[in-house]
């Protein structure tokens, strides 16, 4: 039963692989025709040579003999041209196939939910998108080509050898099953060790990505040696996996060399015995030996191809592993577009927990009127950010419902929902590029005039114009060439450009100094005007004028009301205000 499931699994993988190749069927057809001609020339050469030596040389038809040799010479010139076409167009087909797979993989990863990225390191995913698929190029090119050339050459050569001298051909057919058995038995081990090499390579990529991203922190703490130790640890695991793989490959290669070498020795030994008994002449032995070379050469080629096959199939399986990962959050088949909303937010008896089952929110009830501001405060780890991430449906509730304008967020398309929600976070992400490109990310079809207007409303326009290249200034990886305040105001300009009805501010100014915070607060107040705003804050001075303040502690809303109302209750909120020296 397990064997049948494995066969069905491999057949399904093969069908997927062939569908990618079928997208470039013209290149594939040219590649296969050239491969067919190459195999045909190799098979015809010994036969034509035998006929020429048997029929032309004894009759001293030297001119005809050399004419035949000239034709064979031209055939091998053609073979060289065919190999050129195979190499160029075949690799082009492989690259196009790899590019198609990489695009499909990247597109699928864009659809995967936050929970997928919670459990997978960036470097590992990068390895799967780049290095794993690189080896699929060689498999896509050499796989079909080698199967055709080698298969045709082996079957054709064996057929011709039976026609020339069946006794000698029988010797090879006895040795061939041994070669096939050895190949199949070693293939499984090589495949397993190659998958392990892929995993360790991904771990090294992840270690490098993490170290490069955190190089400033490592230098600040003078911990470069610690990063090197972490890399060495991952590198040692990689070396161990690679050595084990090469042990498997070494056994495979040496066994194949022994098997193919023994075949040639057996042919010469048995052929010599037949000549001694007058049952075979030298011309037939020479011809037979040429066919043995034609027979063994594709066998050796298949041996060399085995490593490419193992690496390619291992990379393809890791590609399919992600492609078969289903998004945790999908649009309902009957999901509708959310258009022209007012901005009412309702959390009705909401509960939530992550995959580990530990509750984060329990029975939350909150209602925010259109255009009003709700502030969410409380100690770290209380569930404030998680609660806000449920509104744009980054995660799905495990109980209750989240509604926007009366629509359950699970009943509308994710794209239309998030189009109506703007999010500002403490850790602002800037793409490596220009200021113009980063602001335009809020609305990709925005004009330059609209970008400038958004920057002015975010009060960052003058600072941008003071830079050497203005809006075309390059800001570096993650915006490292900008200050924290500049990054925050660019992100505000981005949201101005998006112009959403609902705004979520997740501790957007907590990492800034007081002076910068006051400057940015003015921009944020302008941004919040006329919008439904949900503000998560630790600095209570920024939220005391909110229409409603919710205090979240230990999975629950423990206090709810305006600043004045909560101060009168003299509870947790009042204690937090006094701790921050805020009066009534």
pLDDT in tens, 332-387: 889 899 888 888 999 999 999 887 778 889 999 999 999 898 989 888 777 888 88
Q: C-alpha angle with apex 341: 338 to 342, nearest 5 degrees?
A: 160
DSSP string, 501-519: SEEEEESTTTTS-HHHHHH
CA-to-CA dists, residue 281 to 50, 58, 278, angstroms: 11, 14, 7
Token pair of 579, please?
A: 């701790």
pLDDT at 285 over 80: no
Q: Per mean pLDDT, which range of 190-204, 392-406, 416-430 is the poorest?
A: 190-204
CATH assignment of 2-323, given 1.20.1560.10, 3.30.1050.10, 3.40.30.10, 1.20.120.420? 1.20.1560.10
Homologous superfamily, domain 332-420+500-584: P-loop containing nucleotide triphosphate hydrolases (3.40.50.300)
pLDDT at 2 over 50: no
N-term to C-term CA, the chain: 74
154, 160, 165, 166 alpha-carbon torsion, rounded to 10°: 60
Coil, strand or helix at 474: strand
Block residue for tokens 């096959």: 309
Domains of the chain, residue spans: 2-323, 332-420+500-584, 430-499
Mean pLDDT, residues 94-121 taken together: 83
pLDDT in tens, 205-225: 777 766 666 665 565 556 677
- Cα(476)–Cα(482) distance, rounded to whole angstroms? 8
Mean pLDDT, residues 459-478 taken together: 86
pLDDT at 175 over 60: yes
Percentage of the chain lying above the pLDDT 90 cut: 9
Of 368, 363, 424, 423, give the one whose Cα is nearest residue 397.
363
Specify whether the CB–CB gap between 504 and 391 falls below 8 A. yes
pTM for this entry = 0.68
Coil, strand or helix at 124: helix
Token pair of 148, please?
A: 């055709």
Q: Confidence class of residue 511 from pLDDT cuts 50, 70 and 90?
A: low
Domains 2-323 and 430-499 share a fold: no
Bigger pLDDT: 487 or 130?
Answer: 487
Q: How far, rounded to the nearest angstrom, does the alpha carbon of residue 28 sit from its chain's CA centroid?
A: 25
Bigger pLDDT: 474 or 280?
Answer: 474
Q: Per mean pLDDT, which range of 267-276, 322-331, 399-408 is the poorest?
A: 267-276
Homologous superfamily, domain 430-499: P-loop containing nucleotide triphosphate hydrolases (3.40.50.300)
Choose the most confident range, by mean pLDDT, from 56-60, 178-182, 447-451: 447-451
Specify whether the CB–CB gap between 161 and 212 falls below 8 A. no
What is the number of alpha carbons within 13 Å of residue 290 lying toward its C-beta? 17
**What is the pLDDT at residue 3?**
47
**What is the pLDDT at residue 93?**
85
Choose the most confident range, by mean pLDDT, from 104-113, 402-411, 540-549: 402-411
């Amino acid at each position: 039963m397990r064997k049948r499931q494995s066969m069905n699994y491999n057949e399904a993988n093969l069908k997927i692989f062939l569908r990618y190749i079928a997208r470039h069927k013209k290149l594939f057809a040219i590649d296969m025709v050239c491969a067919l001609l190459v195999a045909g020339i190799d098979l015809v050469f010994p036969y034509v040579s035998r006929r020429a030596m048997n029929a032309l040389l004894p009759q001293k038809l030297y001119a005809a003999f050399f004419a035949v040799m000239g034709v064979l010479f031209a055939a091998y010139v053609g073979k060289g041209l065919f190999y050129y076409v195979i190499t160029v167009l075949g690799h082009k087909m492989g690259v196009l196939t790899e590019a198609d797979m990489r695009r499909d993989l990247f597109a699928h990863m864009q659809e995967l939910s936050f929970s997928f990225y919670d459990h997978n390191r960036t470097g590992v995913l990068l390895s799967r998108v780049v290095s794993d698929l690189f080896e699929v190029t060689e498999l896509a090119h050499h796989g079909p080509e080698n199967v055709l050339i080698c298969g045709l050459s082996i079957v054709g050569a064996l057929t011709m050898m039976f026609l020339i001298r069946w006794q000698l051909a029988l010797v090879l057919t006895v040795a061939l099953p041994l070669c096939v058995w050895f190949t199949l038995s070693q293939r499984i081990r090589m495949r397993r060790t190659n998958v392990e090499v892929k995993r360790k390579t991904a771990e090294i990529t992840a270690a490098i990505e993490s170290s490069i991203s955190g190089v400033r922190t490592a230098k600040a703490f003078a911990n470069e040696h610690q990063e090197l130790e972490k890399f060495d640890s991952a590198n040692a695991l990689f070396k161990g996996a690679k050595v084990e793989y090469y042990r498997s490959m070494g056994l495979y290669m040496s066994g194949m060399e022994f098997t193919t070498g023994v075949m040639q020795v057996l042919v010469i030994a048995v052929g010599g015995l037949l000549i001694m008994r007058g049952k075979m002449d030298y011309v037939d032995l020479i011809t037979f030996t040429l066919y043995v070379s034609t027979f063994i050469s594709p066998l050796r080629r298949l041996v060399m191809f085995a490593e490419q096959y193992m690496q390619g199939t291992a990379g393809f399986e890791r590609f399919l592993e992600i492609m078969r990962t289903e998004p945790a959050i999908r649009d309902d088949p009957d999901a509708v577009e959310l258009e022209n909303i007012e901005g009412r937010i309702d959390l009705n008896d909401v509960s939530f927990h992550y995959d580990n089952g530990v509750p984060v929110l329990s029975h939350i009830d909150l209602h925010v009127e259109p255009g009003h501001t709700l502030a969410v405060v409380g100690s770290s780890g209380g569930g404030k950010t998680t609660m806000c991430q449920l509104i744009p449906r980054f995660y799905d509730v495990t109980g209750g419902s989240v509604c926007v304008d009366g629509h359950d967020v699970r009943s509308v398309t994710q794209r239309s929902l998030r189009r109506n929600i703007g999010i500002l976070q403490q850790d602002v992400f800037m793409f490596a590029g220009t200021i113009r490109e980063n602001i335009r990310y809020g609305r990709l079809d925005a004009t330059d005039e609209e970008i400038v207007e958004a920057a002015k409303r975010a009060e960052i326009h003058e600072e941008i114009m003071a830079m050497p290249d203005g809006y075309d200034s390059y800001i570096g990886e993650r915006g490292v060439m900008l200050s924290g305040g500049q990054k925050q105001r660019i992100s505000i300009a981005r949201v101005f450009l998006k112009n959403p009805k609902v705004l979520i501010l997740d501790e957007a100014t907590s990492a800034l100094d007081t002076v910068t915070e006051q400057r940015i607060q003015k921009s944020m107040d302008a941004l919040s005007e006329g919008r439904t705003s949900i503000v998560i804050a630790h600095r209570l001075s920024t939220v005391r004028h909110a229409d409603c303040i919710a205090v979240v502690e230990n999975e629950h809303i423990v206090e709810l009301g305006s600043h004045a109302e909560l101060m009168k209750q003299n509870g947790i909120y009042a204690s937090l205000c006094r701790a921050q020296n805020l009066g009534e």
